[in-house]
Structure 1
Amino acid sequence: MFKTSILFTALLSAAAFASVSAAPVQTEGTGIGKHGDIKLAVTFDNGKIQDIKVLEDHENKVLAAKVFTDLKDAVIANNSVKVDGIAGATFSSKGFLNAVSDAAKKAGVKLSDQAKKAKKADAAMPAVQNYDVVVIGAGGAGFAAAVEAKSKGANVVLIEKMPTVGGNSLISGAEMNVPNSWVQNKLNIKDDTPARMAADTLKGGDFKGDPEIVGVMTVNALPTAEWLRDTVGVNFEKDNVFQFGGHSRKRALIPEGHTGTEVITKFSALADKMGIPVITNMKAEELVKDKDGRVVAVKAVSGDKEYTFNAKGGVVLATGGFGANAQMVKKYNPNIDERFKTTDAPGTTGEALYMAEKAGGQLVNMGYIQTYPICDPISGVIELIADARFDGAILVNQEGKRFVEELERRDVISNAILKQPGFCGMTTSVRFPIL
């Protein structure tokens, strides 16, 4: 009996020890994302990643959304950080993967070195789909077109080549120039009109704009802003408007947070509520025309699979910026050379313009490329601290001397910077002029 008890106790102790040694281990890891530290709690069990929890991050909630879903799932599934990052969220992806690596190192876990690519398309998605309207590009313009078409009873699809929606609209300040707005009235700015804004716009574009089109834009600015506020649900600051360079009045409405996140988040939620399919990782490659020359479909690819989206009512091309395509920028404006980075989203590479041209569209005014004067000189990322000049901040050079009027047009400020001692970089931000 005594010997049996000792044996039982020894076996129990060994089992307890084995249980303790095999218990999951959780460690914390940190990586540097685009906007600060990304801190994760990673759980390992027998050398395998079981779970990843985000403890802290400061990334753009829309742009980096798939970093914390799709990328996380890929890391866990492959037990490796040797997986494809999320296109368009490169810095956030690197920060996330570095945080996982840091946690693994602290846990004494060696992750797999095998690289695997994530699936790009839903295998169950039909290769041919039929809609009334196909919208290409899920930025602000694309969402607006899709929502408006759907509200008129059309069957709509919105396709986007990047893994996330938003495009340039998401990373912009998303301020909107609106004459005679409710905020102006509250601030007792009573003398602004569409005509005054049109005059500012034409002058700011060196009178190259089409007065009729500029007039349409300025007359419809207020109804559009009210639609964004009342229908889309965008929250604008109630007690402040900006006066941008080239404008004679403070008239720019400011979305909450001072970025396009507010606008794109609300658009995305409304599209979901209205039942508009938004298909990411879907790159349009060809506009298909019928025998009469009318565009009736879009051919697109996702991963290694081809798709056709038939469009009975028409195709809306809501993409076309090319600021992130350095070769294309230099082709149309040789003055913007290798010294220039870009504030544009990574997907802004201009293929859709050539797609439209191949279908018979005419490209015009391609050389009118705006430069944004204040950015990170290494990465080209926009520095929103630049908005401080609208509240009285001044610009000084390396000698401490003020060298330009801060409320001048962007091109004026950019050209002034180019002439300063120690100039090291600037960014391009392609915007199409109203012509």
Structure 2
Amino acid sequence: MTSKSSDVRPRPAAGIEHWDYEADVVVAGFGVAGASAAVEAATAGADVLVLERTGGWGGAAAMAGGFIYLGGGTPLQKACGFDDTALNMKAFMKAALGPGVDEPKIDAYCEGSVDHYHWLADECGVPFKASFWGEPGWEPPGDDGLQYTGGENAAPFAATIPPAPRGHVPQMQDKHVSSEKGGGYMLMKPLTDKAAALGVRAEYDMRVQTLVTDEDGRVVGVVAKQYGKEVTVRARRGVVLATGSFAYNQAMVEAYAPRLLNRPAASIEEHDGRAIQMSQALGADLAHMDATEVAFFCDPQLFIRGILVNGRGQRYINEDTYPGRVGQATLIENQNQAFLIIDEEAYEAGMAAPSSSPQLKRKPRWVCETVAELEAEMGLPEGALQSTVEVYNRHAQQGADPLLGKKAEWVKPIGSPIAALDLRNSTGGFTLGGLRTSVDSEVLHVSGDPIPGLFAAGRCTAGVSAGGYASGASLGDGSFFGRRAGRSAAKA
């Protein structure tokens, strides 16, 4: 869905004769950022109204795996036997989520991470099981609470930054991965229950259309459509925008993140960029609009046991890293061209291994006795794949990968029979860029000044991820800076 610029221009408050709804703080969106903002604003004593365009709370967060990127020595990390510090967390995030990260945001996020864990667990009742999942994969298939989710324990980061797992996933009985009964549901239900207990009101089927400003340029409300009828909502203190990314706005993706065109994933159709456009109409600044999370549609239990090569038959990434880094490297650096080269023994081991994504256990397209035969059947230049496998196998005899640094436990010479999985165009994802905000979640004008009365958090903003990504960064910075948005709006 694409909005015309005239649809999103601000309405003058002087032209509104009647307010259909009214609250101190109006929050647009009831996903993780909106729920966190609502809880904190209500805790600060504000009367809070949440406007949600669908028929119920949750957003993309409720359907996600549920990872929240936390560290610095959380109780869950300690219970699982891992040491971590805010300094190490900062170093990793600044190295892995760039280039061009918002350093003050990452500093605040890391320094406040342990406190944020306690807020989620102790104040809001989000449950975490003190168990670590150490297998390759997108998320634990069971109810384990901690996992590496950013490549912290892999090259190139592990050589200089002490690794620690920071993917905290809420515990859930009868978990169904990649559905409405995943870890994300068990994050959202406690948050929305907490909001309700604090007296937060919610109106559903409420599609926010544009912002309302007074004569001084301050945001004082929104215009929305509810059940097809236009309604006006007054915000006595502030408006918080938390309506998600622009992954489903074709025109915006074409303009800002064209590599992701026609391949949205881990997102929902309501992510249409409306909040970004409404704020732009007030002069809001944007950041990192080209940044994207990229999922790689092959089970990590398979590709970690082989080698990934590009369209020239050359390796391009260590296969034991975070699968999102594999996805980004494939789509952005290698024109979406990828093949998995793996022998029969390793393939069978990968197929038998436990996994949260068995639907991504792909079948080979080519199977041959020799690398030369495989190379010819794949249509690669003569000698290209042979030289790649020869170099890999030569060092693998000693359990080493000096080219890309894959850990010794996953380095094994490739034997025969040998197969190739065709993984071309096997990527998708969501956008990471959005409104430029302060560490207190104020929406910033292109001049650098805050737009009075306007706050934002979640995927409609440029959060801690500027280019790279780690699973949990969206729910992490959405909830962390959502809280700040709620507090800031309540004080406004």
Same fold (TM over 0.5): yes
Given the alignment, which residue of 309, 315, 332 partners 2:239? 315
Query: Do the aligned residues in 2 keep the contact of 1:237 with 1:253 (CA within 8 Å)?
Result: no
Given the alignment, which residue of 268, 282, 287 partners 2:192? 268
Deviation at 1:127, TM superposition (A): 5.7
Give 5+ residue unaligned stretches, structure 2.
1-17, 133-145, 153-162, 173-181, 340-421, 433-461, 467-492
Aligned to 2:167: 252
Given the alignment, which residue of 395, 414, 420 partners 2:338? 420
Query: Do the aligned residues in 2 keep the contact of 1:200 with 1:246 (CA within 8 Å)?
Result: no
In structure 2, C-alpha distance between the alignment counterparts of 1:345 and 1:395, rounded to whole Å: 33
Secondary structure of residue in 1 paired with 2:286: coil
Secondary structure of residue in 2 paired with 1:255: coil
In structure 1, C-alpha distance between the alignment counterparts of 2:244 and 2:165, rounded to whole Å: 30
Aligned to 2:207: 283
Q: Does 1:329 align with 2:253?
A: yes
Deviation at 1:394, TM superposition (A): 4.4
Task: Please tell me the residue identity of whatever aligns with 1:217.
Answer: Y
Q: CA 1:246–1:433 in structure 2 vs 1: closer, same or farther (change >3 Å)?
A: farther
Normalising by structure 2, we get a TM-score of: 0.56
Q: Does 1:364 align with 2:282?
A: no
Aligned to 1:140: 32
Deviation at 1:393, TM superposition (A): 5.8
Deviation at 1:347, TM superposition (A): 1.0
Query: Do the aligned residues in 2 keep the contact of 1:404 with 1:416 (CA within 8 Å)?
Result: no
Deviation at 1:227, TM superposition (A): 0.6
Aligned to 2:3: none
Q: Which is further off, 346-355 or 181-190?
A: 181-190
Q: CA 1:156–1:290 in structure 2 vs 1: closer, same or farther (change >3 Å)?
A: same
Task: Please tell me the residue identity of whatever aligns with 1:186.
Answer: A
Deviation at 1:344, TM superposition (A): 0.2
Deviation at 1:355, TM superposition (A): 0.8
Query: Do the aligned residues in 2 keep the contact of 1:404 with 1:413 (CA within 8 Å)?
Result: no
Given the alignment, which residue of 48, 53, 58 partners 1:156? 48
Deviation at 1:162, TM superposition (A): 1.6
Q: CA 1:254–1:320 in structure 2 vs 1: closer, same or farther (change >3 Å)?
A: closer
Deviation at 1:156, TM superposition (A): 0.4
Query: Do the aligned residues in 2 keep the contact of 1:320 with 1:353 (CA within 8 Å)?
Result: no
Q: CA 1:427–1:319 in structure 2 vs 1: closer, same or farther (change >3 Å)?
A: same
In structure 2, C-alpha distance between the alignment counterparts of 1:395 and 1:175, rounded to whole Å: 27
Given the alignment, which residue of 312, 320, 324 partners 1:410? 324
In structure 1, C-alpha distance between the alignment counterparts of 2:58 and 2:66, rounded to whole Å: 11
Higher Rg: 1
Q: Which is further off, 321-330 or 165-174?
A: 321-330
Q: Does 1:188 align with 2:81?
A: yes
Query: Do the aligned residues in 2 keep the contact of 1:298 with 1:308 (CA within 8 Å)?
Result: yes
Q: CA 1:341–1:182 in structure 2 vs 1: closer, same or farther (change >3 Å)?
A: same
Given the alignment, which residue of 5, 11, 23 partners 1:131? 23
Task: Please tell me the residue identity of whatever aligns with 2:267.
Answer: D
Task: Please tell me the residue identity of whatever aligns with 2:431.
Answer: V
Query: Do the aligned residues in 2 keep the contact of 1:372 with 1:410 (CA within 8 Å)?
Result: yes
Secondary structure of residue in 1 paired with 2:215: coil
Deviation at 1:174, TM superposition (A): 1.8
Aligned to 1:379: none
Q: CA 1:172–1:349 in structure 2 vs 1: closer, same or farther (change >3 Å)?
A: same
In structure 1, C-alpha distance between the alignment counterparts of 2:33 and 2:217, rounded to whole Å: 25
Secondary structure of residue in 2 paired with 1:238: coil
In structure 2, C-alpha distance between the alignment counterparts of 1:261 and 1:135, rounded to whole Å: 20
Query: Do the aligned residues in 1 keep the contact of 2:264 with 2:430 (CA within 8 Å)?
Result: no
Task: Please tell me the residue identity of whatever aligns with 1:169.
Answer: A
Task: Please tell me the residue identity of whatever aligns with 2:428.
Answer: T
Query: Do the aligned residues in 1 keep the contact of 2:52 with 2:207 (CA within 8 Å)?
Result: yes
Q: Could you report, residue by residue, the CA deviation over 1:366-416 in whole angstroms, capped at 9, with x for unpaired residues?
A: 1112212237xxxxxxxxx76x69xx96476699x9974232462444433
Deviation at 1:238, TM superposition (A): 1.5
Q: Could you report, residue by residue, the CA deviation over 1:304-363 in whole angstroms, capped at 9, with x for unpaired residues?
A: 21111111110111124011233322220223334x232202211111110111122122
1:185-264 map, 5 Å = 185-190=78-83, 192-240=84-132, 241-247=146-152, 248-257=163-172, 258-264=182-188
User: Which of structures 1 and 2 has the larger relative contact order (alpha carbons within 8 angstroms, sep 6+)?
Assistant: 2
Aligned to 1:54: none
Query: Do the aligned residues in 2 keep the contact of 1:296 with 1:314 (CA within 8 Å)?
Result: yes
Give 5+ residue unaligned stretches, structure 1.
1-125, 376-384
Aligned to 1:26: none
In structure 1, C-alpha distance between the alignment counterparts of 2:323 and 2:89, rounded to whole Å: 15
Task: Please tell me the residue identity of whatever aligns with 2:98.
Answer: D
Q: Could you report, residue by residue, the CA deviation over 1:75-127 in whole angstroms, capped at 9, with x for unpaired residues?
A: xxxxxxxxxxxxxxxxxxxxxxxxxxxxxxxxxxxxxxxxxxxxxxxxxxx96
Aligned to 1:85: none
In structure 1, C-alpha distance between the alignment counterparts of 2:28 and 2:54, rounded to whole Å: 11
1:168-187 map, 5 Å = 168-179=60-71, 180-187=73-80
Equivalenced residue count is 295
In structure 1, C-alpha distance between the alignment counterparts of 2:43 and 2:285, rounded to whole Å: 30
Q: Could you report, residue by residue, the CA deviation over 1:134-181 in whole angstroms, capped at 9, with x for unpaired residues?
A: 011100010000011101110000111122221121122121222201
Secondary structure of residue in 1 paired with 2:76: helix
Aligned to 2:270: 347
Query: Do the aligned residues in 1 keep the contact of 2:247 with 2:272 (CA within 8 Å)?
Result: yes
Q: Could you report, residue by residue, the CA deviation over 1:20-68 in whole angstroms, capped at 9, with x for unpaired residues?
A: xxxxxxxxxxxxxxxxxxxxxxxxxxxxxxxxxxxxxxxxxxxxxxxxx
Task: Please tell me the residue identity of whatever aligns with 1:266.
Answer: P
In structure 1, C-alpha distance between the alignment counterparts of 2:427 and 2:323, rounded to whole Å: 15
Query: Do the aligned residues in 2 keep the contact of 1:147 with 1:271 (CA within 8 Å)?
Result: yes
Secondary structure of residue in 1 paired with 2:259: coil
Query: Do the aligned residues in 1 keep the contact of 2:308 with 2:319 (CA within 8 Å)?
Result: no
In structure 2, C-alpha distance between the alignment counterparts of 1:267 and 1:189, rounded to whole Å: 27
